Amino acid sequence: MHPIFFWRGDRPFAAYSLFVWLGYIVGVLWLRRQLKHHGAAPAQLWGMIATVLAGAVSGGKLGFFLVERRDFIRDPLSMLREWNTGWVFWSGLLCAIAAGSAYQWWHNRRYRPRAYLPVADYCVAALSIGHVLGRLGCFMEGCCHGRPTSMPWGVVFTDAACSVADGMKGLPLHPTQLYEAFGEAAAACVLIVWILPRTRAGKYRYGTAFFGYLLYYSFLRFAVEFFRGDDRGAFLSPLLSPSQWVSLFSASAAGLILWNRGVSERDPAGRSLFIA
């Protein structure tokens, strides 16, 4: 792989950074094109996007500092200066959801109250689109890599700049980055082609896409983690990674919510984007 996209003087610009920002841009542009469906005013949408992105970026870094807390305590300044790599998706996602909820609360106090879930349904579709590109960036960087494998699709990382763990360069590894990218691509297709059109038609309740995505991604991430070979820290038990514990919690919460509230819309004629 080629982790360095180009050099700017003596500073590298990582391919990971390029793909992550492309993921943000493509996801935001798609979300912007769906204004007529989720009904957010342009000013509200851009304010929400800025707030959610701030939550995602800060949360992703905070999660990385917690997972790699020993390195952070030993040399915090070097980790604070490094922005090409070093992110945790789950902490970024949870902080983004919290930031979006806080923005919605603030918006509802100042303007006409509107429901959170109709916009959240489209946000998770945009997220799945962007996450595909983000995981391709991980693949280029060599981070989030898998364990050694004898499968014919094992990928060998040889570039000295790759973030592959010591002792694993030159070995065929599970391309866990691509496993997750394919899984997210499938999620985006199901959301955009199947769930969101039926939500607009009044067949599914608002929030079905949002909670359904959380449930699906929890299972996807839990499974992919078994093939990971990089250092992901330890939490509660060496048998499960921190991301797997979060996935179990997220799957339980999302599954319980979907079970209690149901998926099918019971009153298509009476529902509204706005809070009565």
User: Which of 111, 113, 114, 136 minimizes the C-alpha distance to 20?
Assistant: 136
- Tell whether 143 is covered by a domain: yes
Average pLDDT over residues 236-261: 90
- Measured between alpha carbons, how far is 185 from 75 in angstroms, rounded to an integer? 37
- Tell whether 22 is covered by a domain: yes
- Measured between alpha carbons, how far is 136 from 165 in angstroms, rounded to an integer? 18
Burial 130-144 (b: 16+ CB within 10 A, else e): bbbbbbbbbbbbbbb
pLDDT for residue 47 is more than 70: yes
- Tell whether 239 is covered by a domain: yes
CA–CA distance from 205 to each of 47, 185, 199 (Å)? 25, 23, 6
- Tell whether 276 is covered by a domain: no
In sequence order, which residues have a C-beta less than 8 Å from that of residue 123 and are 6 or more positions away? 31, 52, 100, 210
- Tell whether 268 is covered by a domain: no
pLDDT for residue 85 is more than 70: no
- Measured between alpha carbons, how far is 222 from 76 in angstroms, rounded to an integer? 29
- Tell whether 246 is covered by a domain: yes
Residue 255: give the domain boundaries.
Answer: 4-261
Residue with the bigger pLDDT between 236 and 260: it is 260
Looking at the whole model, is its pTM more than 0.85?
yes
Segment 111-156, tens digit of pLDDT: 878 888 999 999 999 999 999 999 999 998 888 899 999 999 999 9
Report the SS3 class of residue 255: helix
Instruction: Count the domains in the chain.
Output: 1
Residue with the bigger pLDDT between 1 and 249: it is 249
- Tell whether 29 is covered by a domain: yes
CA–CA distance from 242 to each of 90, 223, 269 (Å)? 9, 13, 43
pLDDT for residue 77 is more than 80: no
- Tell whether 203 is covered by a domain: yes
- Measured between alpha carbons, how far is 45 from 66 in angstroms, rounded to an integer? 31
In sequence order, which residues have a C-beta less than 8 Å from that of residue 105 and are 6 or more positions away? none
Segment 196-235, tens digit of pLDDT: 999 999 999 999 999 999 999 999 999 999 999 987 766 6
Minimum mean pLDDT range among 5-9, 207-211, 264-268: 5-9
